Structure 1
Amino acid sequence: METATPVQRRVTRPRADALRNRERIVAAAREMFVEFGAEVPFDEIARRAGVGNATVYRNFPDRDALAREVVCSVMDRTSEWVEEALAADGDAFEALSGFVHFAADERIGALCPMLSESFDQNHPDLVAARDRITELIQRLMTRAREAGQLRPDVELGDLMIAVSQLTRPLPGTACQGIDRFVHRHLQLLLDGMRAPARSELPGVAADLEGLRRV
């Protein structure tokens, strides 16, 4: 087996270190965006990540770039979870329920406010991550509906709006302070989505286009 030369190690090590630093920055930013909001100072993010300010700016030249990376990373992890659930081919509604609780742990609702009007909603990275997770959740819901487990008057937009609202911190309330309620309330939501429906829903279902308008 060939051994890397000192020159090769000097070339490859900075690349690995740079990747780890980038991952630490994204993880720290996600935590702090959830705790304090999208306007948290970069130097605080750098401190929590254990890197210098210059390293943060070298990886992310502005706040939108960092926020986009955080949001895309959350969507990518969630997509990977859904792909595994679909491949497992288990109980359809249990898979859908698992996605909802996983999304709550990823703090999807707390991250939504970062996508402000000034944020580039059409950036290729964001569009690709969003399209991927949307298609996967649609497949989860279709499976549950075809199995007779999901009430027919619930659409993807209904689910995502509810999940976003139930996982978003209340005004003036630390996100960690509502942890003990989030999964409880999400389970109430899921029970209400099961077929057969026990009531008629008011208004119209929020489909994918309605979700994008929101």
Structure 2
Amino acid sequence: MGSVAVERQRPRLRADASRNRERIVTAAREALVEHGPDFPLDEIARRAGVGNATLYRHFADRQQLIRTVTLSVLGRLAEGAEAALAEAPDPFEALQRFVHQAADERVGVLCTLLSGAFEEGDPELVASSDHLTVAMEALIDSAHRSGQLRADVAVGDLMVALSQLTRPLPGTACFTIDRFTHRHLQLFLDGLRAPARSELPGSAVTLEDLQQKS
């Protein structure tokens, strides 16, 4: 509800201004993946096909742009999880569809770059993150109830795997991982299917486990 309320308070952009804003956000997301958070803003404007003045009309500074990229990715992932659950032919297919979409968003790279980048408790970011969490848990719960997902995994296990398998290998360029990501994610997904062929060490990883600070 928090993110919806904030969105409603924003003035509606003209169609051309809205397209420019989307192009800027897309270009910034690509630059984050390729170069990290210190990408040149001039390069973002060039990639988006807009002038620097247009970029600064939409985003006052780098932090605001990165925050908007984060909200955009979180929102698309949550909507994708909900659509997969509603449209896929069975619960495990829905889970697979979401995992491969998350890989296309390069979620592992973005999560690593953006961890700790924002003020704790930012209400819009918290609401977007909570929306995604609920959508992911619904996917996991549905696959568990169908008997297709092994019982000893939880949403945290999925998040760890996505983070690890969508991150570039050390010493390689970001985009070389594209050749392998979906292949290895499918191997991982096949290992999630019930009945389980082995017993996993430890216990299922929860979101609370991931949020604990060492």
TM range (shorter): 0.7 to 0.9
Aligned partners of 1:33 and 1:111 also within 8 Å = yes
SS in 2 for 1:79: helix
C-alpha spacing 1:48/1:159, structure 2 compared with 1 (3 Å): same
- Percent identity between matched residues is 62
* 1:180 aligned partner, one-letter code: R
SS in 2 for 1:160: helix
What aligned pairs does 1:174-185 form with structure 2 within 5 A after superposition?
174-185=173-184
* 1:143 aligned partner, one-letter code: S
| 1:98 paired to 2:97 | yes
SS in 2 for 1:90: coil
C-alpha spacing 1:113/1:194, structure 2 compared with 1 (3 Å): same
Structure 2: gaps spanning 5 or more residues: 1-12
Q: Give the match for residue 116 of structure 1.
A: 115
Tell me how large the CA RMSD over aligned residues is. 1.8
* 2:173 aligned partner, one-letter code: A
Deviates more, 1:75-84 or 1:174-183: 75-84
Q: Give the match for residue 145 of structure 2.
A: 146
Q: Give the match for residue 10 of structure 1.
A: none
Q: Give the match for residue 172 of structure 2.
A: 173
**Cα distance in 2, alignment partners of residues 110 and 127 from structure 1:** 20
TM-score by structure 1 length? 0.87
Aligned partners of 1:101 and 1:186 also within 8 Å = yes
Q: Shift of residue 112 of structure 1?
A: 1.1
Q: Give the match for residue 87 of structure 2.
A: 88
**Cα distance in 2, alignment partners of residues 159 and 45 from structure 1:** 32
- The runs of at least 4 aligned residues of structure 1 exceeding 6 Å deviation read none
C-alpha spacing 1:50/1:89, structure 2 compared with 1 (3 Å): closer
* 1:73 aligned partner, one-letter code: S
* 1:173 aligned partner, one-letter code: T
**Cα distance in 1, alignment partners of residues 174 and 200 from structure 2:** 30
**Cα distance in 2, alignment partners of residues 93 and 16 from structure 1:** 38
Q: Shift of residue 121 of structure 1?
A: 4.1
Structure 1: gaps spanning 5 or more residues: 1-13
Q: Deviations over 1:76-98 (max 9, x none)?
A: 11222222222226211111011
**Cα distance in 1, alignment partners of residues 110 and 120 from structure 2:** 14
Aligned partners of 1:115 and 1:121 also within 8 Å = no
Q: Deviations over 1:160-200 (max 9, x none)?
A: 11101100112231221111110111011111111111112
| 1:134 paired to 2:100 | no
Deviates more, 1:196-205 or 1:41-50: 196-205
Q: Shift of residue 124 of structure 1?
A: 1.7
* 1:195 aligned partner, one-letter code: A
**Cα distance in 2, alignment partners of residues 53 and 113 from structure 1:** 28
Q: Give the match for residue 190 of structure 1.
A: 189
What aligned pairs does 1:17-166 form with structure 2 within 5 A after superposition?
17-88=16-87, 90-166=89-165
Name the count of aligned residue pairs.
Answer: 202
